[in-house]
Amino acid sequence: MEIISKDKFQPAEKTTNAESIVRPSLNYWQDAWRRLRSNKLAMVGLVVLILLTLLAIVAPFVSKFDYETQYLKDIDLKPSMTHFFGTDDFGRDLWTRVWWGTRISLFIGLVAASIDLVVGVLYGGISAYFGGRVDNVMQRIIEVIYSIPLLLLAIILIVFLGPGIKSIIIAYALTGWVGMARLVRGQVLLVKEQEFVLAARTLGAKPARIILQHLIPNVIGLIIVQITFIVPTAIFFEAFLSFIGVGIKPPMASLGNLINDGAHYMRYQPHRLIFPTIVFSLILLSFNVLGDGLRDALDPKMRK
Amino acid sequence: MSKPILEVNNLRVSFKMYAGEVQAVRGVSFTLNKGEVLAIVGESGCGKSVTAQTIMRLIPTPPSYIKPGSSILFDGKHEITKLTESQMEHVRGEEMGMIFQDPMTSLNPTMTVGAQISEGIRKHQKVTKAEAMQRAADLLTLVGMSNAQERTRQYPHELSGGMRQRVMIALSLACNPKLLIADEPTTALDVTIQAQIIDLLREIQKKTDTSIILITHDLGVVAEMAHRVIVMYAGKVVERGTLNDIFYNPKHPYTWGLLRSVPRLDSDRNNDLESIPGTPPDLFAPPVGCAFAARCPYAMKICKEVDPEHFDVSAEHSSACWLMHPEAPKVEMPVQAGRGSHG
Amino acid sequence: MLKYVLRRFVYMLITLWVIITATFFLMKLLPGNPFGEVAAKLPPENLKILREQYGLDKPEWQQYLKYIGHVAQGDLGVSYQFPTRSVVDVIKQSFPASLELGIESLIFAVIVGLLLGIFAALKHNKAGDYSAMFIALIGISVPSFVVAPLLSYLLGNKWHILPAGLWQGPEHRILPALALSFGTIAILARMMRASMLEVSSLDYIKTAKSKGLTTWKIVTSHMLRNAILPVITILGPIAVNVITGTLVVESVFSVPGLGYQFVTSITTLDYTMITGLTIFYAAILIIVMFLTDIAYGFVDPRIRMSGRR
């Protein structure tokens, strides 16, 4: 053994803290953001969504054409420098119509998500927070609504209300919130039983304070993930209804009725199907990959 | 008692994670003889479970990696670190058995107890389904369960925690393995059940002369069963010795701390139970020098600069601590330690 | 178990009742003339006779009770547009084709979807996983009303590999069934993958591995059963998916099924037909969900024994 100088065996002064933490410390949102950023697919989804949204907002304004004016001498044109996506059988510019339709679709998706958010969070939160008999009754109601097939109810509703954006949103709102309410309730129940909430309650914190300080931060990640799945569901919902003829009617453009039109003409003018389909699928695809990424990023169980 | 069944040499295991590499096991060496019970003790996160599961290669790669230079020699012929996955299948279950910590989650909820025991038998031995089932029932009798035939047709959720752990033991014994690894076999159980399970393990060990590696943080369990003990801290062995060495002549300050934190009936009631202040270091970035130095009341300058080698006390007993160096000040273990009734 | 079944059954009846009631009152709230444009031109006396014929002159609660009574006996009314056709006749005539299409696509989807999910889970984080999940993502993002016309156009009209429409020999079944199963495959594959990954991290898989079982054996006898359990719970939503899919697929491929009738009745605003078919569809879906719940109880011994979730 090599010789070690004697003074090395002097007691060491306490320099380092025994409990010092060497690992970089990240809070919940920083950590989630790091995970999301490292998920390339989800980031591509996010970027594509931002681009599509910008196009949907800007393109109809900048375009030389509007979505409904018919130019009967320009019918059935192939894509060109004047008409990027070509024209339809009424001579309407498809570039403008597709982005107009995207705008409608995104609008429906966002409104539906907001309604779901408010109703679902309130319903689920109240049900879980009060528990007991209140919860019991509210849950029975949910169970019944949950088993009513959304699409069928929506179809009869729209048949009776008359087609249009408003009807679609109302129909969706009537039943769509149930999933969110269930999710929020489950999560709140889980959090409610955890020690730190019990502790806060024992310390005499008021309900409002407990909800704001403890419950919401713990539930919000889950809600965000759920929203990224609600928006594409609502968009799909509109397109489906428009496709079977009870959604948004021409001359108003929506991705659903553009695809429906395109399907009829695809043999001779494939561009009429291709462009709205690509945009529509991109929206759904992006929301789905972003949602998957967010779920992985925000799931604390996955945190290492 | 003399021939080694397992020789672990310089075992290093790391987990690759987003921020880098967590060095869970950092150069562990030990030998287990035939018919011997070796206890591995230490706080949670010290690498004892990783060591145990690596011996059976149960931790998936990625994220875990056995680093080059590591060696696990089993039964004098199998170099575990180099076996292929299909060769490993013949070692697992047939030559080594494992008992896991939590009997609530370690059994498949949708399969009867008998089916779970007999499938291992049928994998390794040429027997019919009925013979395997009969053997499963015999094993359940061996681990002290009555109505064994009926039990084989039950599902895990119909059994209590202690019963399930007995099933787990029966399952690990199914093919008369040469080595049994018990990873915290009593931690998840009630105190009264713990004693029963330890008695059972001890009895089975005597009957079958199986070698056992017992992973635990419960020194009471160690005292009941083990022949030899290794103490792990931050992925390294800090002290090794026979049961008597560790309980009556411990040399490492960490071992002292462990012994002093065990509640004892014969100690003075006014004495507070002592704990080791601080928490183990993060193995994401192991400290320079001795990993325990930051929590050690006797830490010297050298402790924070150079990691100590093992100093031999006797042929069987060694401690990785600079206090063992001839130049170091003489420090005795503080009183009120593990002396007395244990053993 | 019996208690569990009974409870589910009662829920099923309540839900059906809610739907029937909702459709009835929606029909009553309807503005304008239930007999459509043609009837508006009829003289008032004739309209009165017509109203009596359909029982519309009685108080609403009487009409409601009568309606419930009829529905309970399996009488869903007569088409307003074609008074000679009853809703039940239409169902009898066109449902078999839809059922066949639905079952064929479901079988195909279950086989492909589960295999894809299992494959992805076993190749977790490897190229196989990524490609399988990318296929599934596309399956979710590209809806049936895009897939169906595309398949019909490409395979049917352009390359002439398979007939693009009609409902005759077995070769006519392939494209519609394929188009219909697309989304279901994707949902099942994603669900199965997630479920397999969840199960693979559980302790008892480590136990199985410690017995020396091969990966194949661990997957087949330990993981699959436990991983399929949660997948069974989404069979209800999947049934919804398939049924709503038939609305689109049948129109595109000219399959003489119920979905086609439903879409037609919507475009012609044949109210009794719409409500009747809605109730029929709702009943099927609710029964499927009920059966799903029961099936779930049977495969999971914990529920089978204790009779509750």
d(CA B172, CA B181) in angstroms, rounded, equals: 9
Contact (CB<8Å) B302/A23: no
Lowest-pLDDT choice from A92-101, A263-272, C189-198: A263-272
With beta carbons under 8 A apart, name residues in chain B contacting C300: 110
pLDDT at res. B274: 65
Q: Is B211 within a domain?
A: yes
- Judged by phi (left if over 0) then psi (alpha if -120 to 50, else beta), residue C198 lies in alpha
Measured in angstroms, the CA of C216 and the nearest CA of chain B are apart by 11
CA A45 to chain centre: 12
The minimum CA-CA distance between A220 and chain C, rounded to whole Å, is 22
Of B102, B120, B158, the CB nearest to C211: B120
**Domain boundary residue, one of B226, B249, B275:** B226
Instruction: Identify whether residues B52 and B179 lie together within a single domain.
Output: yes
Gap between the Cα atoms of B11 and B51, Å rounded: 8
* C259 touches C246 (CB < 8 A): yes
**3-class state of residue C33 by DSSP:** coil
Query: Are residues B160 and B299 located together in one domain of the fold?
Result: no
pLDDT band with cut points at 50, 70 and 90 for residue A51: very high
**CATH T-level fold of C94-256:** MetI-like fold (1.10.3720)
SS3 label, residue C107: helix
B173 and B309 in a single domain? The answer is no
Greater confidence (B181 vs C308) lies with B181
- Distance, CA of B241 to CA of B231 (rounded, Å): 9
**pTM of the prediction?**
0.77
Mean pLDDT, contiguous 10-residue spans, chain C (309 residues): 79 82 74 55 70 68 80 75 77 86 89 90 82 83 80 75 67 81 87 86 84 84 84 78 83 83 81 82 82 74 50
B92 secondary structure, DSSP code: B
Higher pLDDT, B297 or A285: A285
Interface of A with B in 20-59 (CB under 8 A): 20-24, 34, 38
Asked if the Cβ–Cβ distance from C282 to A148 is below 8 Å, we say yes
Query: Whole-angstrom Cα distance, residue B299 to residue B283?
Result: 20
How close does chain B come to C288, measured CA to CA in Å? 24
Q: Which residues of C touch A109 (CB under 8 A)?
A: none
ipTM of this complex > 0.90?
no
Q: Does residue B1 sit within a domain? A: no
Which residues are CB-contacts of C134 (< 8 A; sequence separation ≥ 6)?
Answer: none
Q: Which helix (H) or strand (E) holds B50?
A: helix B48-55
* Same domain assignment for residues B219 and B309: no
At A6-15, the pLDDT tens digits run 677 776 665 5
Percent of chain B with pLDDT over 90: 1
Q: Check whether residue B132 and residue B256 sit in a common domain.
A: no
Q: Are residues B205 and B252 in the same domain?
A: no
Token output for C287: 């029964």
Residues contacting residue A263 through CB under 8 Å, at least 6 positions apart: A243, A273, C145, C149, C252
Q: Is C301 on the interface with B (CB under 8 A)?
A: yes
Same domain assignment for residues B72 and B189: yes
Number of structural domains found in chain B: 2
Eight-class DSSP state of C202 = S
pLDDT score for B279: 72
- Domain CATH for B164: 3.40.50.300
Per-domain residue ranges of chain C: 94-256
For residue B242, give its domain range: 233-324
In the predicted model, what is the mean pLDDT of chain B? 81
**How many whole angstroms separate alpha carbon A270 and alpha carbon A266?**
4
- Confidence band of B286 (pLDDT split at 50, 70, 90): confident
What does the alpha-carbon distance between residue B200 and residue B206 come to, in Å, rounded to a whole number? 10
Q: Is residue B336 part of a domain?
A: no
B221 and B237 fall within a common domain? no
Angle (CA) A235 A236 A242, round 5°: 95
- Structure tokens of A6? 């004697």
Biggest distance spanned by C-alpha atoms of chain C? 86
pLDDT tens track for A114-148? 998 899 888 888 888 787 788 888 888 887 777 67
A8 touches chain C (CB under 8 A): no
pLDDT-derived band at A3 (thresholds 50, 70, 90) equals: low
Which tokens is B54 given? 């690596």
Is the distance from CB of B124 to CB of B175 less than 8 angstroms? yes
User: Does A161 have pLDDT greater than 50?
Assistant: yes
Q: Is C298 helix (H, G, I), strand (E, B) or coil?
A: helix
pLDDT in tens, B27-50: 888 888 888 899 998 887 788 888
Residues in chain A: 304
Q: pLDDT tens, A204-225?
A: 777 777 766 667 777 787 888 8
User: Can you tell me the distance from the alpha carbon of A171 to that of A108, in angstroms, rounded to the nearest whole number?
Assistant: 12
Q: B327 vs A6: CB contact, 8 Å cut-off?
A: yes
Q: Are residues B92 and B136 in the same domain?
A: yes
Banded model confidence at residue A50, pLDDT cuts 50, 70, 90: very high
> Is residue B155 domain-shared with residue B190, that is, in the same domain?
yes
Say if residues C243 and C184 touch (Cβ distance below 8 Å): no
* DSSP code per residue over C203-225: HHHHHHHHTT--HHHIIIIIIHH
Q: Interior CA angle at C216 toward C214 and C220, to 5°? A: 120
Three-class secondary structure assignment of B240-292: EEEHHHHHHCCCCHHHHHHHHCCCCCCCCCCCCCCCCCCCCCCCCCCCCCCCC
Please name the member of A7, A22, A34 whose beta carbon is closest to the beta carbon of B282.
A22
What is the sign of the dihedral through the CA atoms of A166, A168, A170 and A176?
negative
pLDDT number for residue A14? 56
Please answer whether residues B302 and B322 qualify as being in contact, where contact means their C-beta atoms are separated by less than 8 angstroms.
Answer: yes
Domain boundary among B226, B241, B266: B226
Helices A132-147 and A94-130: angle between axes, nearest 10 degrees: 150
What value does the mean pLDDT take over residues A43-47?
90
Question: Tokens for B174?
Answer: 């199914």
Which residue in B has a C-alpha nearest to residue C228's C-alpha?
A: B110
Residue from C146, C250, C253 to probe the interface with A (highest A Cβ count within 10 Å): C146
State residue B181 phi and psi, 5-degree precision. Answer: -110, 120
pLDDT tier at B341, thresholds 50, 70, 90: very low
Lookup: tokens for B116: 């779970």
Q: Is residue B278 part of a domain?
A: yes
In a domain, B311, yes or no: yes
Task: Name residues whose C-beta falls within 8 Å of residue C144's C-beta, 6 or more positions apart in sequence.
Answer: C179, C180, C182, C183, C245, C248, C249
- Considering the domain architecture, whether residues B195 and B273 belong to the same structural domain is answered as no
Same domain as B239, residue B206 = no
d(CA C248, CA C149): 9
Q: Does residue B70 belong to any structural domain of this protein?
A: yes
Of B195, B226, B257, the position where a domain reaches its end is B226
What's the confidence (pLDDT) of residue A41? 82
Proportion of chain A above pLDDT 90, given as a percent: 3
How does pLDDT run across A238-253, given as a tens digit for each residue? 888 888 777 777 777 8
- The burial of A12, by beta-carbon neighbours within 10 Å (0-12 exposed, 13-18 middle, 19 or more buried), is given as buried
**Both tokens assigned to A134:** 């209140």
Give which of B88, B100, B106, B187 to mutate to test C binding, by max C Cβ within 10 Å. B106
Q: For residue B303, which residues of chain A lie inside 8 Å, CB to CB?
A: 12
